[in-house]
Structure 1
Amino acid sequence: MDSRPLLIVDGANVVGSRPDGWWRDRAGAAARLRDALAPLADRGLPPELPPPVEVVLVVEGAAREVPGVAGVHTVPAPGSGDDAIVALVRDAADRRRLVVTSDRELRDRVAALGAELHGPRWLREHTHPTP
Structure 2
Amino acid sequence: MRVLVVDAANVVGSRPDGWWKDRPGAARRLHERLLVADVPHDLVVLVLEGQAKAGAPAGRDGHVRVVHAPRDGDAAILDVVRSHAVDQVTVITADRGLRAGAEVAGATVMSPSWLLDLL
TM-score (norm 2): 0.92
Q: 2:43 aligns with which of 25, 38, 54?
A: 54
Matched, 1:22 2:19: yes
Deviations 1:69-92, CA, capped at 9 Å, x for gaps: 333211000101000000000111
Higher strand share: 2
Q: Which amino acid aligns with 1:96?
A: Q
Number of equivalences: 116
Spell out the pairing of 1:90-109 with structure 2 (5 A cutoff): 90-109=82-101
- Please identify runs of 4+ aligned residues in structure 1 that moved more than 6 A: none
Q: Distance in 2 between matches of 1:126 and 1:94?
A: 25
CA distance in 2, matches of 1:92, 1:31: 25
- Shifted more, 102-111 versus 63-72: the winner is 63-72
Structure 2: unaligned runs, 5 residues or longer: none
Structure 1 position 110, deviation (Å): 0.5
Cα deviation, residue 6, structure 1: 0.7
Identity of aligned residues (%): 47
Q: Deviations over 1:3-39 (max 9, x none)?
A: x211000000100010000001000000100111112
SS where residue 118 of structure 2 aligns?
coil
* Unmatched runs of 5 consecutive residues or more in structure 1: none
Question: In the alignment, which of 3, 8, 12 is matched to residue 5 of structure 2?
Answer: 8
